[in-house]
Amino acid sequence: MRFPKPSEAELRILHVLWDQGPSAVRDVLAKLEKTTGVGYTTILKLLQIMLEKGLVERDESSHRHVYSAKLAREDAEERFVDDLVESVFNGSKKRLVLQILEDAKSSQKELEEIRRTILEFEKGAVR
Amino acid sequence: MRFPKPSEAELRILHVLWDQGPSAVRDVLAKLEKTTGVGYTTILKLLQIMLEKGLVERDESSHRHVYSAKLAREDAEERFVDDLVESVFNGSKKRLVLQILEDAKSSQKELEEIRRTILEFEKGAVR
DNA sequence: GTTGACTTACGAAGAACTTCGTAGTAAACT
DNA sequence: AGTTTACTACGAAGTTCTTCGTAAGTCAAC
């Protein structure tokens, strides 16, 4: 089954859930209010919408509901990459890779890191 | 100066302008109506909005206005990749590269193509 | 020069997204 | 028990995006 693509604000919340694990609204707010300045009920509403969409699930055993990501980080990453390849690079993953390399060309350090990353991967290293 | 990020529909139009060069509304429509089923005035309106945003420019010397992309393909690609890295991969291009490799792992053919792409790039080949 | 086809301009509607205010409910603390 | 604090639910407003309908302008061809 295909899950809906998270919006920007939803993605910010998912990052918190991925990093911190199951969290109440207040826990999510704690991480996001400094950077986004967003209010409590905004997070709450978003989590409720995400629940409807199936992006998160919640534990209602306590009055203080606890939300956890139902969409795995890797699945989300793959989905976003696939969508990008489709909409921007005409379905060619090769062209995306080329663009990344082309993009990093200006920075010797960055290019070197990518080269190292690929080498590690070829040796069978996982992340 | 930072150009606005094209929306999905705007991006579809930009692809046409990148592929075909300067085009009138009808020319853009010809390419998009089969795939998207969208109407004439929709394309027109979008082009007008894109003109305001600075994504395209237009030649009004003839009654039939001709639009051309002001935003270069490569710049758009770079912008979309950067935004993806920022919003999904926590700013780490390395993690994006890893995800692409991880993603292609299932397909031997795809992985091989990426490997070849990187090799070509290292030899100084341009796209 | 009138008609008909094509074009632009523009308003508006519906959808998704983001945000918050208000109201009601549960818990906690004197 | 009563008050204060914290939480959930929900409606609603503002924004952007996408789409189209309608009106008005241009041009060629009859």
Give B25-51 pLDDT, tens digit per residue. Answer: 999 999 999 999 999 999 999 999 999
- Listed in sequence order, the residues at least 6 apart from A4 whose beta carbon sits closer than 8 Å to its beta carbon are A53, A54, A55
Instruction: Name which of A28, A59, A60 is nearest A45 in CA terms.
Output: A28
pLDDT of B111 above 80: no
Residue position matching structure tokens 């998207």 = B36
Tell me what pLDDT residue A113 has. Answer: 80
Residues 41-100 of B with CB under 7 A from strand C: 41, 44-45, 48, 63-65
Tell me what pLDDT residue B102 has. Answer: 87
A118: tokens are 């690929």
Could you give the percent of chain A with pLDDT greater than 70? 95
Q: What is the mean pLDDT of chain A?
A: 91
Is the CB atom of residue A36 positioned under 7 angstroms from any atom of strand C? yes
DSSP SS3 for B40: helix
Using alpha carbons only, what angle is made at residue B93 by residues B90 and B95, rounded to the nearest 5 degrees?
70
**Cβ–Cβ below 8 Å for A93 and B100:** yes
Is the CB atom of residue B48 positioned under 7 angstroms from any atom of strand D? no
DSSP SS3 for A91: coil
Q: Is A86 on the interface with B (CB under 8 A)?
A: no
Q: How many angstroms separate the CA atoms of B58 and B47, rounded? A: 9
Instruction: Name which of B87, B98, B90 is nearest A125 in CA terms.
Output: B98
Residue in A84, A93, A102 closest to B84 by CB: A84
Is the CB atom of residue B3 positioned under 7 angstroms from any atom of strand D? no
Question: What's the pTM value of the predicted model, to 2 decimals?
Answer: 0.92
CB-CB contact of A24 with A65 (8 Å): yes
Enumerate the β-bridge partners of residue A56: A69
Q: Which residue has the higher pLDDT, B79 or A102?
A: B79
